[in-house]
Amino acid sequence: MQGPLINKTGKFINLLIRDRPALTLKIGDIVKAEVLDITSGNTVSIRLKNTVLKATTDIPLQKNETLMLRVEGRGNEIRLRLVGGGSESSETLKSSILSALDNLRGARLEAGEMGRLRSLIETLPGSVREVLPQLASLKKFFPQIEMLASGISKDLIESSGIFFESKLRLLTLRLITDDMLKQELQQKTMLNTGTEPDVEKGLARIIRDDLKGTLLSIKGALRDAGVIEQLIQNNIKPDNLNTAIDKLIKNIEFFQLQSRLNESLQVFIPLFWKDLRDGELIFRESCRGKPEERTYSCIVNLNLEGTGRIMAHILMQSGRFHIRFITENRAFVEALKEGLPVLEEQFKASGLKVGSISARHEEKADFSSAISEGLDIRV
């Protein structure tokens, strides 16, 4: 039985590039590869960035192993340094995720509860904010609904907490490989180069610029005796604030697990809208066919005070948009039908072709359709 790959970190895999496939690799990149087959001797077949390639290595590998590799050379033969790896059966992983989701049952926050938690955090007095400076960072993670007019930014998604552990893992991998390179440099030059300040800066930046990281930082600070004393002096129960922060963390973890289970990306972004009970935006791109043949869709699910549930599905296929509305409110569906001609004209005025457009009433609009691919942004 082979030993763990972590014991083999630092060793090299040479990637053979003969037919020059469409593969972009930059020196310093950390990439994931899957061992597909052990062909002969020290030659293996691996899948790297959806491309199957031949590689040579003296590292004992096993079929279906996952490798984390750092690119350290380019040309006809690319040099990759092993920085980590591991394997876990899909059934075992699925079972673990389902068990964790069961423990997080009820963790998903609705808009009303999210609003109450936000109010609790924002109304804390200045003396508390002085001992908990991390609270000031939370505001940038709680955008108003008006920001949708300019779209969901990449930074907002990346800072939502969904990638927190991935950022830490990449930082660790970089530190491992950088340390190996520095050790080699020190042996050759006899120079001593420290890394601790860079480590601290990198970690601090990840925590500061990530919602989950910031929440975990606040949760850690709430164990400090001085912070607890300041809260009590301001008639704030430390347990109440700690519970609010913990609920936000668990809400993020719920979507992290859902993303892993469904092989999709489900992102928690706490957008605020006065009349919103609950809602979600789902963006999908089909992964089938040529790029020009793929379909793109946006699903907007809203549960509003007084109006009830509304579903809007916009599909772009073969250069045309197909738009469909479903609502539980009979009066609202009539208002939607009256506005459809205006909406169609707005599409045309923007140079967009409309294939079909409709609105209908349903007794129960179901938001629970499964997400199998694409980007799922929960609001």
Task: Please write down the HEC assignment for all residues of 175-198.
Answer: HHHHHHHHHHHHHHHCCCCCCHHH
Supply the range of the domain harboring residue 336. Answer: 275-378
Q: 311 and 333: one domain?
A: yes
CATH number for 352 = 3.30.750
In a domain, residue 307? The reply is: yes
In a domain, residue 249? The reply is: yes
In a domain, residue 130? The reply is: yes
Task: Supply the pLDDT for residue 293.
Answer: 67
Task: Supply the pLDDT for residue 378.
Answer: 47
Q: Do 266 and 255 contact (CB within 8 A), yes or no?
A: yes
Single residue among 65, 87, 109 that ends a domain in this structure: 87
Q: 230 and 312: one domain?
A: no
> pLDDT (tens digit, 0 to 9) for every residue of the chain, 379 residues total?
344 444 455 566 777 665 555 567 777 677 788 888 887 767 888 888 778 888 888 777 778 888 877 777 655 567 777 766 554 545 555 666 666 667 666 667 766 677 777 777 778 888 888 888 888 888 788 777 766 666 667 788 888 888 888 888 887 777 766 665 566 555 555 445 454 566 677 788 888 899 999 999 988 888 888 888 888 988 888 888 888 888 888 888 888 887 777 666 777 777 777 777 777 777 777 655 565 667 888 888 888 888 888 999 899 888 899 999 999 999 999 999 999 999 999 999 999 999 999 999 988 877 665 444 445 444 4
From the list 195, 159, 162, the residue with the least C-alpha distance to 176 is 195
Q: 190 and 102: one domain?
A: yes
Q: 249 and 107: one domain?
A: yes
Q: 211 and 304: one domain?
A: no
Instruction: Report how many domains make up the chain.
Output: 3
Which is it for strands 375-378 and 265-268: parallel, antiparallel or unpaired? parallel
Q: 256 and 140: one domain?
A: yes
Q: 346 and 371: one domain?
A: yes
Who's near 58: CB < 8 A, 6+ residues apart? 11, 42
In a domain, residue 270? The reply is: no
pTM of the model: 0.61
Q: 216 and 104: one domain?
A: yes
Q: 105 and 252: one domain?
A: yes
Task: Supply the pLDDT for residue 178.
Answer: 64
In a domain, residue 208? The reply is: yes
